[in-house]
């Protein structure tokens, strides 16, 4: 069209043009609508033929002439209807036709009511709005104008004395113009809001589709998965593609619990249960949502779940947006941080107490090897090893290892053997990585160092200077390779204090007295390793929290004594606490549960050291599996020792480990010198 | 003041719950294990809400809930909320079957615990 | 493809023909309509009141000299619907005894004659040529009123708007008799003379 070729007219003109000229494309709906309207219009105008003829006959204004005139007018729209392709063009022909019909009507209806016949023009002009095209109305208005102009310019003015007052003509023109404007406006609105609606909807739909595509592009390219569930936890079909990758896709209408359940049955069950709280309405919604699973490990990946409730006006939960994030790398980072911290702890230990750490490390290596090489060979042994490794690791600051051991124990307790294998593999990886680092830190690994105090050095020097017996000097030197029990107990004391803090038992007092005794490090390695269980028991089960102690009239600080001494030809290691004492009734119950007889005090004491008997109600990382004391008993027996337990309810417990002197101390001198 | 019974063998946990609920204007009674809890709730008809640990010596939380269900106390308007660690779906399912209204995962958030008890006590 | 483009070409050609036809049709219709409109809109010529031909001709009509009275002349055309309606109006309305009314009819028509007879109107037949040459009148219906002295006091149409129902003949007469002036109303109706008809309706649609 010319308007597209010409430079854009500005402002009002442009707006008028845009109002009058419809957008060039025809929707299918408009096509169908106009086809129908044009057909109706053709019928309508053909209907004028008998009417006008009859009117002319009645009015005595020449029915034949009227019929001929009407037919001549009908020729145009009939040909246009049959031959023009554009329905809008046909409509415009009808606009012209309508005005001509008006002319015929006024002519054949001449007489006293001729003026009334002019109503036809106004009503038919309004009816043309049905074509939803302002151009049709403009065509009609233009037709009227052209006819008047023709009259004005072509009629011989010399002959005619155009007497109609000018104001009458102007009033008529004004009415036509007003109606034309209004009808154009109506037609355009009709087009925009009804006829063109489909096109609008199409455009809007296309726009929305585009926006959806953009949205999807975003959704599919973030590292988070988005899905929504309705009030029944059913998943909607819209979701990020990555969800399919992670969870293997789903059918719309499935619940999120089912989706999770396919990946991990336990997790699915947990979610389903948590969801019940969301829907049953007993708990506050906020709490119920807070208790939905937040993290999960599916295979090698770790996921975090975030929930955004979408409520309606009444605060009812309408939808829930679930944001799933793959936090595998974050978890890996946290683990690597934990490993880093472990290495730091190791480093600190090596600096402070190289010997003690070495000993722990040698044993830990042994335990790890024993549990990891063939765990299925003897599950109870594996369980024990893991438990000891857990306890020792915790004491030496290897928190990640301790946690991993705890995870294995959890799986073992639930008889989840595939889970156990997974966790064991994890432990193995961690342990291997850690031990490589430790070996590196230790440098000349396995080389035992001899440490001595200045006092000991002076003693040996004096003996040499004084010309003491060679055997005496040799014995002093051998003793140097032995470990002072006080040093060992000192380490335990330190660990015990730390443990008490962790278990909220307050700042306990630990007294250490080695009485200058020494023990052979290697022979007692096993015993010392299991000895930590005794300490843990004393602190976890024995010593009460400060508040409780005060209630029982005890000093708020718990007290633990670690001593070694010689008594009656025996070497005694003693642990004494002032806690609540052993709950023998609970031991009896547990023992009976395990099928042990627990009638006499002797049997009860036996039961206390049996695997599987623990009086702790809560299983924690620290103690409670009834494995620890059994390990102590084993290692004690191995050295030919005996255990003595005295416990007074409410007052405390004394545990003594007694070894014949032949098993300890000086003996190795002889053997070693002979060797 | 609405009376709440907290049954938990951990003094620390009882202490924590007490602190939160007393701060919220509730009267708190404590019991140290299941049997103690049963005795106290039987003796005191004013107890409106019971917060129940799962693992306890001498009758665990689920057994206690079952007992209260059986003796009709729950039907008489006692609301039971379990305190548990995450992941023990089968325990929770049992507790719910025994009539427990809800469960709260340890470690709990004080404001949410308070909101839950307020809702239960209302 | 060939058939498609062929049929498209055919449709185009057909459409060109159609557009051509429509252009001719629209132009023709416009002219016809303008013509029809002209015949209704345009006020027809009438002689001036003091036209000597008119006065002379009116004076020549037979009159009762003893009783000089007001006289209304209805110049009507037998082929003209407007003239017929004027006659029907005059025949139906109340008549005043002291006013003579004469119908000057161009052409012959039984219906007109019957109406005049029944309502006791004097009918004078005139031809188109006589009307133009003697009276100087070209269009009908035309009302001419003369006072008792025979002077023409009014020469014009019956209605003030095109084809209204409100005939002003008696009102005009009353005003003249009251001594007032009456401006001539436009004449709407039909051309009577051949020359006027030719000018009004070059297509010969109406006459």
What CATH number is attached to the domain comprising B107? 3.40.50.2300
Better-scored residue on pLDDT, A397 or A312? A397
- Mean of pLDDT values over A210-219: 80
Which pLDDT tens digit goes with each residue over A504-550? 888 899 999 988 788 887 788 888 888 888 888 888 888 998 888 88
Better-scored residue on pLDDT, A360 or A88? A88
- Alpha carbons A118 and A171: distance in angstroms, whole number: 13
- Among residues A182, A86, A67, the alpha carbon closest in space to that of A127 is found at A182
Which pLDDT tens digit goes with each residue over B77-121? 889 998 877 666 777 888 888 888 888 887 788 888 898 898 888
Q: Which two tokens stand for residue C160?
A: 């003030």
Cβ contact, residue pair A76, C29, below 8 Å: yes
Cβ contact, residue pair A545, B10, below 8 Å: no
CA separation, residue B26 to residues A204, A260, A387, B19, B22 (Å): 57, 39, 43, 10, 5
Asked whether the predicted pLDDT for residue C40 surpasses 80, the reply is: no
Find chain A residues with C-beta within 8 A of B90's C-beta.
269
- Alpha carbons A596 and A594: distance in angstroms, whole number: 6
- Mean of pLDDT values over A72-76: 94
Among the residue ranges A314-318, A382-386, B49-53, C175-179, the one predicted with the least confidence is A314-318
Domain C52-197 matching CATH 3.40.30.10: the answer reads yes
Better-scored residue on pLDDT, C178 or C165? C178
A28: confidence class by pLDDT, cuts 50, 70, 90: confident
Find chain A residues with C-beta within 8 A of B55's C-beta.
617-618
Among the residue ranges A237-241, A433-437, C5-9, the one predicted with the least confidence is C5-9
Which pLDDT tens digit goes with each residue over A430-457? 888 888 888 877 765 455 666 677 777 8
Sheet holding B102-105, edge to edge: B27-31, B3-7, B47-53, B79-84, B102-105
ipTM: 0.87
Cβ contact, residue pair A545, B11, below 8 Å: yes
Asked whether the predicted pLDDT for residue A406 surpasses 70, the reply is: yes
pLDDT at A671: 33
Asked whether the predicted pLDDT for residue A627 surpasses 90, the reply is: no
- Mean of pLDDT values over A581-608: 80
Q: Which domain holds residue B8?
A: 3-121
- Alpha carbons A137 and A130: distance in angstroms, whole number: 10
The answer to whether the predicted template modeling score (pTM) of the entire model surpasses 0.90 is no
Among the partner residues B55, B104, B109, nearest to A618 by beta-carbon distance:
B55
pLDDT at C3: 46
Q: Give the β-pairing of B102-105 and C70-77.
A: unpaired
What class does CATH assign to A222-326?
alpha beta
Task: Tell me the range of A188-192, A246-250, C201-205 where mean pLDDT is highest.
Answer: A188-192
pLDDT at A354: 76
- Among residues A238, A239, A237, the alpha carbon closest in space to that of A251 is found at A237
CA separation, residue A625 to residues A492, A579, C52 (Å): 21, 20, 146
Q: Which residue out of C42, C165, C206 would a mutagenesis test of the A interface target, given it has the greatest number of A Cβ atoms within 10 Å?
A: C42
Q: Give the β-pairing of B47-53 and B27-31.
A: unpaired
Cβ contact, residue pair A282, B93, below 8 Å: no
Task: Tell me the range of A535-549, A579-593, A599-613 where mean pLDDT is highest.
Answer: A535-549
Which pLDDT tens digit goes with each residue over A175-193? 889 999 999 999 999 988 8
Which pLDDT tens digit goes with each residue over A76-100? 999 999 988 899 999 999 999 999 9
Among the residue ranges A141-155, A172-186, A440-454, A550-564, the one predicted with the least confidence is A440-454
- Among residues A331, A490, A506, the alpha carbon closest in space to that of A403 is found at A331
The share of chain C scoring above pLDDT 90, in percent, equals 5
- Alpha carbons A253 and A236: distance in angstroms, whole number: 7
pLDDT at A447: 56
Asked whether the predicted pLDDT for residue A652 surpasses 80, the reply is: yes
Query: B touches which chains (3+ CB pairs under 8 A)?
Result: A
- Among residues A93, A99, A102, the alpha carbon closest in space to that of A131 is found at A93
C23: confidence class by pLDDT, cuts 50, 70, 90: very high
pLDDT at C151: 84
Asked whether the predicted pLDDT for residue A317 surpasses 80, the reply is: no
pLDDT at A41: 96
Which pLDDT tens digit goes with each residue over C103-153? 888 888 888 888 888 888 888 888 888 888 888 888 888 888 888 888 888
* CATH number for the domain running over A482-675: 3.30.565.10
- Number of folded domains that form chain B: 1
The share of chain C scoring above pLDDT 70, in percent, equals 86
CA separation, residue A198 to residues A23, A153, A398 (Å): 13, 46, 70
Among the partner residues B55, B79, B105, nearest to A291 by beta-carbon distance:
B105
Domain boundaries, chain A: 2-201, 222-326, 340-445, 450-478, 482-675
- Alpha carbons A372 and A353: distance in angstroms, whole number: 28
- Mean of pLDDT values over A351-371: 81
Find chain C residues with C-beta within 8 A of A157's C-beta.
none
CATH domain A340-445 topology: 1.20.120
């Amino acid at each position: 069209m010319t308007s597209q070729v010409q430079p854009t007219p500005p402002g009002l003109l442009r707006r008028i043009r845009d109002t009058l000229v419809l957008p060039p494309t025809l929707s299918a709906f408009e096509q169908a609508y106009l086809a129908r309207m044009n057909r109706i219009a053709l019928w309508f105008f053909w209907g004028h033929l008998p009417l006008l003829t009859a009117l002319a006959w009645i009015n005595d204004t020449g029915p034949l002439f009227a019929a001929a005139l009407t037919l001549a007018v009908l020729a145009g729209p009939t040909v246009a209807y049959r031959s023009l392709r554009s329905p809008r063009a046909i409509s415009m022909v009808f606009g012209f036709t309508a005005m001509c019909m008006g002319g015929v009507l006024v002519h054949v209806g001449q007489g006293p009511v001729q003026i009334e016949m002019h109503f036809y023009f106004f009503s038919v002009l309004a009816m043309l709005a049905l074509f939803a095209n302002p151009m049709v109305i403009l065509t009609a208005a233009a037709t009227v104008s052209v006819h008047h102009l023709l009259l004005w310019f072509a009629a011989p003015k010399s002959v005619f004395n155009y007497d109609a007052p000018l104001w009458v003509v102007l009033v008529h023109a004004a009415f036509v113009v007003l109606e034309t404007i209004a009808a154009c406006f109506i037609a355009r609105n009709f087009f925009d809001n009804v006829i063109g609606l489909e096109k609008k909807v199409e455009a809007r739909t296309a726009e929305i589709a585009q926006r959806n595509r953009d949205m999807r592009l975003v959704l599919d390219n973030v590292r988070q998965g988005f899905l929504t569930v309705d009030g029944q936890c059913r998943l909607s079909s819209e979701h990020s593609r990555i969800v399919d990758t992670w969870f293997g896709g789903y059918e719309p209408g499935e619940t999120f619990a089912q989706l999770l359940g396919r990946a991990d049955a336990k997790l699915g069950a947990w979610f389903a249960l948590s969801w019940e709280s969301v829907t049953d309405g007993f708990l506050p919604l906020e709490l119920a949502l807070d208790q939905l699973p937040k993290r999960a490990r599916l295979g090698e990946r770790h996921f975090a779940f975030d929930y955004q409730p979408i409520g309606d006006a009444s605060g009812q939960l309408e939808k829930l947006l679930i944001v799933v994030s793959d936090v595998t790398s974050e978890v890996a980072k946290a683990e690597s941080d934990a490993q880093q911290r472990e290495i730091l702890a190791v480093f600190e230990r090596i600096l402070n107490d190289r010997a003690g750490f070495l000993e722990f490390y040698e044993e830990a290596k042994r335990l790890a090897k024993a549990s990891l090489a063939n765990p299925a060979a003897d599950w109870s042994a594996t369980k024990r090893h893991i438990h000891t490794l857990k306890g020792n690791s915790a004491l030496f600051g290897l928190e990640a290892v301790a946690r991993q051991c705890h995870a294995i124990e959890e799986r073992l307790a639930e008889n989840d053997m595939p889970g156990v294998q997974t966790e064991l593999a994890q432990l193995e990886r961690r342990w291997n990585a850690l031990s490589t680092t430790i070996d590196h830190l230790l440098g000349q690994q396995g080389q035992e160092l001899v440490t001595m105090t200045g006092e000991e050095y002076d003693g040996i020097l004096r003996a040499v200077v004084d010309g003491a017996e060679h055997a005496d000097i040799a014995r002093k030197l051998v003793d140097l390779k032995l470990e002072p029990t006080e040093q060992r107990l000192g380490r335990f004391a330190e660990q015990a204090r730390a443990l008490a803090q962790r278990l909220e038992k307050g700042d306990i007092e630990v007294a250490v007295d080695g009485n200058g005794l020494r023990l052979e490090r290697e022979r007692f390695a096993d015993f010392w390793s299991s000895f930590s269980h005794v300490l843990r028991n004393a602190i976890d089960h024995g010593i009460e929290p400060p508040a409780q102690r005060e209630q029982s009239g005890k000093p708020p600080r718990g007290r633990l004594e670690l001593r070694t001494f010689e008594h009656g030809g025996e070497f005694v290691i003693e642990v004494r606490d002032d806690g609540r004492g052993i709950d023998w009734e609970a031991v009896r119950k547990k023992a009976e549960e395990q099928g042990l007889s627990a009638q006499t005090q002797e049997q009860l004491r036996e039961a206390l050291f049996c695997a599987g008997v623990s009086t702790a109600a809560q299983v924690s990382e620290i103690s409670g599996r009834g494995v620890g004391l059994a390990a102590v008993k084993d290692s004690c027996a191995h050295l030919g020792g005996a255990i003595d337990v005295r416990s007074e309810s409410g007052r405390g417990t004394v545990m003594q480990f007694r070894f014949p002197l032949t098993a300890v101390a000086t003996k190795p001198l002889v053997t070693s010198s002979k060797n | 003041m609405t009376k709440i019974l907290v049954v938990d063998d951990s003094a620390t946990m009882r202490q924590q719950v007490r602190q939160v609920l007393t701060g919220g204007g509730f009267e708190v009674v404590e019991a140290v294990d299941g049997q103690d809890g049963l005795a106290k709730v039987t003796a005191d008809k004013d107890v409106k809400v019971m917060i129940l640990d799962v693992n306890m010596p001498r009758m665990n939380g689920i057994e206690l809930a079952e007992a209260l269900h059986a003796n009709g106390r729950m039907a008489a308007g006692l609301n039971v909320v379990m305190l548990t660690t995450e992941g023990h779906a089968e325990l929770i399912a049992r507790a719910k079957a025994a009539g427990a209204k809800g469960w709260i995962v340890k470690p709990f958030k004080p404001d949410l615990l308070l909101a839950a008890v307020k809702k239960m006590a209302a | 493809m060939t058939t498609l483009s062929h049929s498209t070409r055919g449709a185009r050609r057909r459409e060109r023909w159609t557009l051509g036809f429509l252009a001719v049709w629209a132009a023709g219709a416009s002219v016809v309509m303008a013509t029809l409109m002209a015949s209704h809109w345009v006020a027809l010529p009438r002689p001036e009141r003091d036209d000597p031909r008119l006065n002379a001709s009116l004076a020549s009509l037979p009159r009762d000299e003893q009783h000089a009275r007001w006289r209304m002349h209805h110049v009507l055309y037998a082929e003209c619907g407007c003239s017929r309606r004027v006659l029907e109006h005059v025949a139906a309305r109340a008549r005043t005894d002291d006013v003579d009314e004469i119908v000057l009819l161009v052409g012959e028509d039984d219906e007109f004659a019957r109406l005049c007879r029944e309502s006791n109107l004097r009918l004078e037949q005139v031809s188109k040529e006589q009307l133009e040459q003697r009276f100087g009148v070209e269009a009908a219906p035309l009302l001419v009123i003369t006072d008792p002295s025979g002077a023409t006091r009014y020469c014009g149409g019956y209605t003030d708007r095109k084809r209204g129902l409100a005939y002003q003949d008696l009102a005009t007469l009353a005003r003249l008799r009251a001594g007032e002036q009456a401006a001539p109303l436009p004449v709407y109706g039909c051309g009577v003379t051949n020359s006027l008809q030719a000018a009004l309706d070059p297509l010969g649609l109406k006459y």
